[in-house]
Structure 1
Amino acid sequence: MLKPLRPLLFLVLLAASGCASVYFPAPPPASLLTQKGEFYGGISTNQRGNFAVQGAYAFADHVAAAGTFSSYHNNRKRRTENYDFGEAALGYFTRLPDRRVLEIYGGLGAGRTQRLDRPDEDTPTVPGTKLDGSLTKFFVQVNYAKKKQRPVHLFGRDLPLSYGAAWRLSHVQLTNFKINGQLQDPATNVFFEPITFTRLHLTGPLQLQLMSGQNIGLKRNKYLKAANSVFQVGLIINLGGQATE
């Protein structure tokens, strides 16, 4: 009954195991729009405090705009990380037979990243390392999902379950990159980001969403690498869409 949730259980562990990188992939918008005038909104976070807010609107038949703002600020004993990134996309959507939805988006993003690595207490003479720079991104994304499945019985209720996947290919560039104030050469990487998501219909337009996935870097780069994966838990709404019956 909970088979669609199984991939998430494994990927939760991966989300917390990555090495340091100055790039944190934002959760892709899986808006699953079905008709003109429909709105999608979502808010999510994860165990590391990576916060994201998203929205999408179908302003014409089969044409929509989507946006994401992702923020991560973490101050630990050995490392401080600050990351703010925004994305905007334009896309095509269509409803397929048997309550399936297909979306194709293309977009861009920009933001700032900063990381401070403090020296080990056992080696106080070793200086820390401060990394900061600007990030830009161009991406294409495909979403595919079935909007309603057999209900799951939880908390004494039958909650409709839906699930799907998003595949994203991102070209990311790191510019104005400095290490301890010294300007470095720009860096680029191409990331393949396959994502799965599962949703439980709670009440009205409100749904609980679990999203997880991998981040695969296609180029070798010391600082701009695929060390952070995606795992988000959040609430979403879809207003004005076609019935899923």
Structure 2
Amino acid sequence: MMCLQFWRAVPTERRLAWGPVLFLAGLLMVSMTGKSNAENLAPVKIVAFGTSLTARGGWQPRLQTRLAACLQRPVSVENVAKSGETSTWALTQLDRVIAEQPDIVLIELYANDATLHRFVSLAQSRKNMGVILDRLHQRLPRARIILMAMNPFSGLRGLIRPFVDSYISAHQAEAQKRGLEFVDYRPGWERLSSDELAAAIPDGAHPRPESASKVIVPELVGHIAGRDCKD
């Protein structure tokens, strides 16, 4: 109880900075309980919770492989994701996420909220995200909860999401208010030329799996395990 009270008293920016260090320390403590072979350790369980950017993402196998190599222990990545769905749908899926008892939850739920035809207002999207984060944190108090900003949209897919950056910012604000983590992959995509970006995201919304893996996985592995561990 004293440790929990101390952690709650730590400023948000320090919690975010210490996240990877404490996560690795926890894994080390588990590994010192008598199991000397990494293959005998329980896997680090990750649930990727989101939309088609997760369901069709294709970056999960690469994340699983590279993070396992970095941590020197098994890693499993499961999806709770559905194309075309919103944060309103996500509220009905929390029991599925919790049932996995993950060590890490990766969340991206803004992309379809931001479409003009799905009628999820910015205020409602932010409220939904707050409820999602609170419930996950209450039911999975030891899990790392990481919100993500994914790839840019273009063409028609971009036109129907004129305020997508505002939705990302609203979700980020809800995470930061609770001392939770946020990873932004957009700078990685911005380093590509226009031709490279068009080839990587041909439909204007869904990156090719190999392209998504190249941009997302190094950033995410570094965030989870520390910057010394790169893809």
Shared fold per TM-score greater than 0.5: no
Q: TM-score, normalised by structure 2?
A: 0.32
Q: Which of the two has higher C-alpha Rg?
A: 1
Greater fraction strand: 1
Q: TM-score, normalised by structure 1?
A: 0.31
Larger relative contact order (Cα-Cα within 8 Å, sequence gap ≥ 6): 2
